[in-house]
C-alpha cells in the first residue's frame, strides 16, 4: 500500500510538471490587491528579479503590515527585505552577527544589558536609526498588551534608558542571561523589530495600525527594499536607490533589483513553477517531488546532493494539545493518544523516510543533542514513540471509557470523544501527516477528523483556544534547552476565548514553571541550570503538553537559472531557510547567473 501511494504521488507530480504553465511576468498585476496597492510599477527584467514562494499561501490581509500584530506572521517579504534585526544568528557559523547594532554587554549578574547601535544606520526616508527608536519601541510594547512581545517586555524590562544616541541600556527585572538572544538576536522568527519613532509616535492606535501606505513609504524599515505591491497572491519589493549599509561600507548593495513573494496552491504547482524557472526558491518539497522536479530541470538543487537533501529545521513536527480543554487537560488521555500514534509510520510515509522520529520538541543540533543524550534515561522512561494499542485500551478503560457500536471511545455519560486536528494548508508536511494520524487515531478508537485552514484562520483558532489538537511547534532553543521550555510556562496561559500568541498550549504546571524560572536566571553552563533543565524535561514528558512526531528535514529547492551562490552544505554561509528573518543574508549573497 505504501509503495502504491508513493507511485501515485510521483505520477501526480509528473502530470503537473508536464502541464502548461503561464510564465511569470515580474511586476505583473495580481487580483485582490490591498487598498492602496500600487498598480503601475515598472517592469523589471526576469534576470534581475528574485522570486520566492510565500509559504503562508494566500495572504488574507495584504493591507496589514503591522509587525507587532498577533493576527499574522509577515514572512512574505517584510521580514526578509524591508526590516532588519539588531543582530542575526548564523546557524552555520554559530555566531551572533551584529547588524543594526555593533555590539552588546551584560553586567556581572545579567540584570542589565547595554546595546551599542551601529553608527550610520538609517531608515528608508533618511532619518537616523537611534536609541530613541529602540526606547520608543520597547515602551510602546509595554504599554499595549494586545501587541506581540508586550508580555515579554513587561515581564523582563524594568526600564530602558538612553545613554547616548547610539547606546541603550536595559534594566531588567531580574537576571536574564538569554535576554538578548531571546528577543534581539534573530534566531528564527520572533525577534523584536524596532519601529521608526518619528512615524509610530504619531499613530493614535498602534494596535490597529496597518502600517501600510505605499505613497507615504509604509511599511518603512532600514532594509534595502521597499514594498511596491501587496495583494493576496503577490508581494513585490523593489530595491531602494540608496541603503545605509552600502553608504558606510558595511555591506554591498544586494544584486536583485526586485524581490517577489508569490503564492502557490500546492506542492505540485510549486514544483511546476520551479521547473519552468518561475521560482528561484520554493517552499519545501517531498523527496519524490524534489527528485521529479530535478530530473526535469537540472538547475534545481537543495542543501545536499544526496538523501535526505534537506536542512534540519529548528522546530520538530508535533501535535499540540489544547491543554485547557477536557479531556486534553488529562495527561493520561494525552498519553493514550500518544500510544495510538505510530510516529515511525508517519516518518516513512509523510517524509518518505527522509527524517527521524522526534522524542522531544528539540531539534537535534549538536549542542542540544549532547544535552538530550545526557538525559537519555528520561527519554527511555517516557518514550513518546512507543506505539502500543494495548496501552491505549488499558488507559481508556481505566478512565471509564467504553467503545460504542462503531468502535469509538465514549465517556461514562455516553458522549463520543471527538478529536479535530487542524493545520495550516500551506504546510506541505502537515498536509501529508494529517490523514495518516487521523486514520491511526480512528484505528485506536478515537473519532478523529482533520481540517486544513488558511493561516489567518488557523492562527485565530489556536490563539483563542478554539481547537482540540493542531500541528504546532515551539520555536525557541537552538543551543541550550531554556527557550523551548519557556514556551510552555504557565505565565503565557490565557483562558479559552482570550487571545494568546504562538505560545497557545495553555498548559499549567507550577513545579515545571519553577524549574524554568531557575533556568531563566542562570547561565547554561551553571550546574544549577542543568539540574533545573532535567527536572523540567521530566515534568514536560509526564504532562505531555504536545506530542513530538519527527525532526523536520526541509528540502528547500533553489534554482540557479537566474541566480547563483545559494546556500548549500558545501557553501554554508547561512541556512537555506528563506522564510526566516535571516533570509536577509541570503538575499545579500546571491549573484546574477548572467554575470
Looking at the predicted structure, is the pLDDT value of residue 187 above 70? no
pLDDT band, very low/low/confident/very high, at 496 (cuts 50, 70, 90): very high
Angle, alpha carbons 435-471-373 (nearest 5°): 110
pLDDT reading at 257 higher than 60 = yes
Report the pLDDT value the prediction gives residue 455, as an integer from 0 to 100. 83
Task: Estimate to the nearest angstrom the gap between the alpha carbon of 484 and the chain centroid.
Answer: 13
Q: What pLDDT is stored for residue 34 in this prediction? A: 65
- Across residues 26-38, what is the average pLDDT? 51
Q: Hey, is 236 helix, strand or coil?
A: strand
Write out the E strands in 375-446.
402-403, 409-410, 418-424
Give the percent of the chain with pLDDT over 90: 73
Q: CA 571, 576, 578: angle at the middle one, nearest 5?
A: 140
Grid coordinates standing for 583? 533570509
Half-sphere CA count of 184, side-chain side, radius 13 A: 25
Q: What is the pLDDT of residue 35?
A: 60
CA distances for 483 relative to 320, 492, 533, angstroms: 17, 13, 11
Angle between helices 2-18 and 343-350 (to 10 degrees): 30
pLDDT at residue 24 tops 70: no
Average pLDDT over residues 524-537: 95
**pLDDT at 26 > cutoff 60:** no
Rounded to the nearest 5°, which phi and psi values hold at 558?
-115, 160
Q: How far is residue 389 from each of residues 191, 281, 392, 560, measured CA to CA in Å? A: 42, 42, 5, 49
The stretch 322-348 carries a mean pLDDT of: 97
CA atoms within 13 A on the CB side of 117: 23
What is the DSSP secondary structure assignment for residue 483, as one 8-state letter?
A: H
Answer for the pair 552, 314: CB distance below 8 angstroms, yes or no. no
Query: Is 328's pLDDT higher than 60?
Result: yes
**Which strand ranges, in their side-by-side order, compose the sheet holding 447-453?**
447-453, 418-424, 469-472, 317-321, 546-550
- Per-range mean pLDDT, top range of 29-38, 220-229, 348-357: 220-229
478 and 368 in contact (C-beta within 8 Å)?
Answer: yes
pLDDT of the residue at 85: 94
DSSP state at residue 78 = I
Task: Tell me what the mean pLDDT of segment 281-310 comes to.
Answer: 93
pLDDT band per the 50, 70, 90 thresholds, residue 38: low
Kind and range of the H or E element at 259?
Answer: strand 258-262
Residue 4's pLDDT is what? 36
Burial class (CB in 10 A: 0-12, 13-18, 19+), 594: exposed
Q: Render pLDDT for 116-169 as a digit per residue (tens, 0 to 9).
A: 999 999 999 999 999 999 999 999 999 999 999 999 999 999 999 999 999 999
Flag the least confident range among 76-80, 171-175, 217-221: 76-80
C-alpha to C-alpha distances, 266 to 263, 302, 386, 552, nearest whole angstrom:
9, 19, 33, 19
Residue 36 confidence (pLDDT)? 54
Select from 485, 491, 473, 476 the least CA-distant residue to 535.
485
* pLDDT band per the 50, 70, 90 thresholds, residue 33: low
* pLDDT computed for residue 241 by the predictor: 96
- What's the mean pLDDT when you consider all of the chain? 90
Pairing of strands 469-472, 418-424: parallel
Which residue, chain included where needed, has cell 529548528? 314
Element (H, E) at 411: none
| Nearest partner of 187 among 586, 592, 590, 577, judged by Cα | 577
Give the start-end residues of each E strand in 309-454: 311-312, 317-321, 402-403, 409-410, 418-424, 447-453
Helix axes 331-340, 428-443, angle to 10 degrees: 100
Amino acid 471: pLDDT: 93
pLDDT band at residue 513 using 50, 70 and 90 as cut-offs = very high
Amino acid at each position: 500500500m505504501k509503495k502504491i501511494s508513493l507511485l501515485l504521488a510521483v505520477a501526480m507530480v509528473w502530470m503537473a510538471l508536464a502541464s502548461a504553465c503561464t510564465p511569470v511576468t515580474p511586476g505583473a498585476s495580481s487580483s485582490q490587491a490591498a487598498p492602496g496597492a500600487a498598480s503601475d510599477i515598472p517592469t523589471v527584467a526576469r534576470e534581475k528579479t528574485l522570486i520566492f514562494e510565500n509559504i503562508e499561501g494566500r495572504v488574507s490581509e495584504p493591507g496589514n503590515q503591522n509587525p507587532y500584530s498577533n493576527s499574522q506572521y509577515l514572512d512574505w517579504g517584510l521580514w526578509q527585505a524591508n526590516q532588519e534585526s539588531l543582530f542575526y544568528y548564523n546557524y552555520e557559523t554559530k555566531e551572533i552577527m551584529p547588524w543594526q547594532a555593533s555590539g552588546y554587554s551584560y553586567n556581572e549578574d545579567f540584570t542589565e544589558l547595554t546595546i551599542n547601535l551601529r553608527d550610520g544606520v538609517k531608515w528608508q526616508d533618511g532619518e537616523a536609526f537611534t536609541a530613541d527608536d529602540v526606547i520608543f519601541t520597547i515602551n510602546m510594547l509595554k504599554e499595549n498588551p494586545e501587541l506581540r512581545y508586550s508580555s515579554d517586555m513587561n515581564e523582563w524590562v524594568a526600564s530602558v534608558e538612553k545613554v547616548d544616541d547610539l547606546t541603550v541600556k536595559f534594566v531588567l527585572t531580574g537576571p536574564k542571561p538569554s535576554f538578548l538572544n531571546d528577543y534581539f538576536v534573530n534566531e528564527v522568527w520572533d525577534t523584536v523589530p524596532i519601529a521608526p519613532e518619528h512615524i509610530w509616535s504619531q499613530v493614535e492606535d498602534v494596535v490597529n495600525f496597518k502600517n501600510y501606505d505605499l505613497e507615504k513609504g509604509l511599511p518603512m524599515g532600514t532594509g534595502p527594499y521597499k514594498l511596491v505591491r501587496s495583494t493576496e497572491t503577490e508581494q513585490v519589493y523593489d530595491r531602494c536607490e540608496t541603503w545605509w549599509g552600502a553608504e558606510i561600507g558595511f555591506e554591498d548593495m544586494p544584486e536583485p533589483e526586485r524581490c517577489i513573494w508569490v503564492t502557490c496552491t500546492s506542492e505540485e504547482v510549486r514544483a511546476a513553477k520551479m521547473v519552468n524557472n518561475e521560482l528561484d526558491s520554493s517552499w519545501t518539497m517531498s523527496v519524490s517531488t524534489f527528485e521529479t522536479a530535478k530530473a526535469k530541470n537540472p538547475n534545481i538543487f537543495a542543501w545536499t546532493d544526496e538523501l535526505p537533501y534537506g536542512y534540519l529545521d529548528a522546530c520538530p513536527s508535533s501535535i499540540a494539545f489544547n491543554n485547557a480543554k477536557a479531556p486534553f487537560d488529562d495527561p493520561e488521555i494525552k498519553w493514550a493518544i500518544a500510544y495510538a500514534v505510530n510516529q515511525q509510520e508517519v516518518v516513512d510515509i509523510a517524509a518518505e523516510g527522509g527524517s527521524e522520529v522526534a522524542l522531544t520538541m528539540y531539534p537535534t543540533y549538536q549542542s542540544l543533542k549532547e544535552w538530550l543524550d545526557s538525559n537519555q534515561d528520561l527519554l527511555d522512561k517516557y518514550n513518546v514513540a512507543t506505539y502500543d494499542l494495548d496501552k491505549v485500551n488499558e488507559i481508556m478503560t481505566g478512565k471509564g471509557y467504553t467503545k460504542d457500536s462503531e468502535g469509538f471511545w465514549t465517556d461514562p455519560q455516553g458522549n463520543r470523544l471527538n478529536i479535530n486536528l487542524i493545520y495550516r494548508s500551506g504546510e506541505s508536511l502537515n498536509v501529508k501527516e494529517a490523514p495518516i494520524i487521523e486514520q491511526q487515531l480512528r484505528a485506536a478508537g478515537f473519532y478523529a477528523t482533520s481540517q486544513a485552514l488558511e493561516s489567518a484562520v488557523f492562527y485565530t483558532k489556536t490563539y483563542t483556544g478554539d481547537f482540540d489538537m493542531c500541528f504546532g511547534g515551539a520555536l525557541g532553543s537552538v543551543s541550550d534547552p531554556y527557550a523551548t521550555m519557556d514556551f510552555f510556562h504557565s505565565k503565557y496561559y490565557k483562558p479559552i476565548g482570550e487571545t494568546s500568541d504562538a505560545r497557545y498550549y495553555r498548559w499549567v504546571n507550577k513545579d515545571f514553571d519553577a524549574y524554568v524560572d531557575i533556568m531563566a536566571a542562570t547561565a547554561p553552563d551553571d550546574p544549577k541550570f542543568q539540574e533545573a533543565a532535567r527536572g523540567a524535561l521530566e515534568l514536560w514528558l509526564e504532562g505531555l503538553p504536545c506530542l513530538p512526531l519527527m525532526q523536520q528535514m526541509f528540502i528547500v529547492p533553489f534554482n540557479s537559472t537566474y541566480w547563483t551562490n545559494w546556500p548549500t552544505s558545501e557553501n554554508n554561509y547561512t541556512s537555506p531557510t528563506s522564510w526566516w528573518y535571516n533570509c536577509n543574508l541570503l538575499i545579500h549573497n546571491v549573484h546574477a547567473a548572467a554575470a
